[in-house]
């Protein structure tokens, strides 16, 4: 199992009030499994991804990734996990502005010690960004930045890939292509994929769909 969340609770401070954003959440994602996470804006999807990525402290409950219990892990172990086993496609891409497209894509793979020139070049072709290797992020369109962020995340062949609306800036055709590619590569490399999406079409292409509402996470029946 790549990811096991048990009885996770998370409160946020909203002015003078405390709001229970995540309430007793449990979720398991096995290797190669592709999960869609849906829910209204503000329901806590990005916060949940941040907790899984170890970017926010766990208040209550447990998150285990590739056997590592996050709440008890040292900063060194957490950073090793992020470097080697976890990739994130952020809602705001977070590309490195002083690196070219090609260097951005190779960066995480090199950091993880899994740089594979053939995989990097295949990914850039599959994501239709092979004409941009020497451009810098500031000169790219939103959809191009999104595809570079996807290539960067996949180039490291992570055990767990967290993706926050990775198709939010893409048109219908590109969005379908990108999701099919993400699912295909997740299966090929045995990567667990947890993807936030507002698109029912995108969610339908995943193995399971969960919805976050009023702090509760529930499995949604897929329509066939």
Q: Does 43 bind Mg ion (CB under 5 A)?
A: no
How many residues touch ligand ATP under the rule CB under 6 A: the total is: 12
In the bound state with Mg ion, the residue whose beta carbon lies nearer, of 46 and 104, is 46
Q: 158 is in the binding site of which of Mg ion, ligand ATP, none (Cβ under 5 to 8 A by kind)?
A: none
In the bound state with ligand ATP, the residue whose beta carbon lies nearer, of 45 and 159, is 45
What residues between 35 and 64 interact with ligand ATP by CB under 6 A?
A: 39, 41-47
Among 46, 126, 175, 197, binds Mg ion (CB under 5 A): 46
Percent of the chain that is helix, strand, coil (3-state, to 5)? 35, 30, 35
Q: 149 is in the binding site of which of Mg ion, ligand ATP, none (Cβ under 5 to 8 A by kind)?
A: none
* CA angle centred on 187, ends 181 and 190, rounded to 5°: 130
Burial class, 153, CB count within 10 angstroms (exposed 0-12 / middle 13-18 / buried 19+):
buried
Of 193, 131, 139, 137, whose CA–CA distance to 166 is shortest? 193
**Contact range with Mg ion by CB under 5 A, out of 22-30, 38-46, 153-161, 171-179:** 38-46
Give the helix ranges, DSSP H, for the chain. Answer: 45-52, 75-84, 101-111, 117-126, 142-155, 172-188, 200-204
What residues between 100 and 159 interact with ligand ATP by CB under 6 A?
A: none
**Which residues lie near ligand ATP (CB under 6 A)?**
12-13, 21, 39, 41-47, 91
């Amino acid at each position: 199992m790549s990811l096991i969340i048990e009885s996770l609770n998370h409160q946020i401070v909203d002015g003078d009030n405390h709001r229970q954003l995540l309430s007793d959440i449990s979720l398991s994602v096995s290797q190669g499994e592709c999960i869609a996470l849906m829910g209204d804006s503000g329901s806590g999807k990005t916060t949940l991804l941040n907790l899984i990525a170890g970017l926010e402290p766990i208040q209550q409950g447990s998150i285990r990734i590739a056997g590592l219990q996050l709440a008890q892990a040292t900063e060194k172990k957490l950073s090793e996990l992020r470097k080697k086993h976890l990739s994130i496609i952020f809602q705001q891409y977070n590309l490195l502005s002083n690196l070219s497209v090609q260097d951005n894509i190779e960066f995480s793979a090199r950091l993880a010690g899994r740089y594979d020139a053939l995989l990097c070049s295949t990914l850039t072709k599959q994501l239709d960004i092979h004409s941009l290797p020497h451009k810098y992020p500031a000169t790219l369109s939103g959809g191009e930045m999104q595809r570079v962020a996807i290539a960067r995340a996949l180039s490291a062949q992570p055990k767990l890939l967290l993706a926050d609306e990775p198709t939010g800036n893409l048109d219908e055709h590109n969005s379908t292509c990108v999701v099919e590619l993400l699912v295909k590569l997740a299966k090929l490399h045995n990567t667990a994929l947890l993807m936030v999406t507002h698109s029912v079409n995108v969610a339908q292409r995943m193995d399971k769909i969960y919805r976050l509402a009023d702090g509760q996470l529930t499995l949604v029946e897929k329509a066939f």
